[in-house]
Amino acid sequence: MSVLVVTAILPLALTGTSSVASASSAASCRAPRMTGLTVTKARDRAAIAGCRLRLIGAKVQVPMIQTIRTQSVRPGHVATVVTVSVNPLCSGSVNPGPPPNEPIVKPGPTELITGLFIEGGAMIESSAPHCKDLVGKSSAGTITVTNSVGSVIADNTALSEGQELYVNVPAGTYTVSGKFAGGEAVGPITVDVPSGESVRQDLVLPVP
């Protein structure tokens, strides 16, 4: 009789263990890399991996544009839920231009920092950690810097795209002019550089 009882109970125990293991497997996933992706692509990757996705941060308005800033679980690690922070939707021109509030004056070597920027153009929507921090990329071209008596400090110095010109100068007033690689001239502008200060003042070509 005891043999019959054991035989009847054993299948039930095995069945219960199998169900727990199956539920555990279904509840976890191996997190994919989602940082830097749009919300739409992050959702697709999470679905393929079988991950539950939790969105925090900015309100999702345009998931095909807004991007993921961080994720709570490192790619490849096992988790049940992956929390991601969403960057806000930013509106602005296609050419954001240089940093706002120039000239930017900071303690440091007595130097002038300048570049070539296009500012304006069609309005677009983008995504960034902080919309106010959106800054354009300097363009290729040449820059000339002269001092207050007309002596040339930098003579048609060539800049590649994304490059800024750094010039160590004595404290004083300087004139800056430039030309974009496409031939458009910009400037001249006047910049005061105090002793012991690093001054950034870019050349800007506005476009409608």
Describe the strand order of the beta sheet including 152-159 as a list of residue ranges.
152-159, 141-147, 172-180, 185-193
Q: What is the pLDDT along the chain (208 residues), one digit of tens a residue?
A: 343 333 333 343 434 444 333 334 446 899 999 999 999 999 999 999 999 999 999 999 999 999 999 999 999 999 999 999 999 999 989 999 999 899 999 999 999 999 999 999 999 999 989 888 788 999 999 999 999 999 999 999 999 999 999 999 999 999 999 999 999 999 999 999 999 999 999 999 999 9
Q: Where in the chain is the domain with CATH 2.60.40.10?
A: 94-207
Q: How far apart are CA 55 and CA 153, in angstroms?
A: 53
pTM of the model: 0.69
Q: Does domain 27-87 have CATH number 3.40.50.980?
A: no
CATH classification of 94-207, choosing from 2.60.120.1360, 2.40.100.10, 1.10.3720.10, 2.60.40.10? Answer: 2.60.40.10
Q: How far apart are CA 110 and CA 145, in angstroms?
A: 15
Sheet holding 104-107, edge to edge: 104-107, 197-200, 111-114, 165-168
Helices (H) and strands (E) in the chain, counts: 2, 16
All CATH 3.30.10.20 domain ranges of the chain, comma separated, are: 27-87
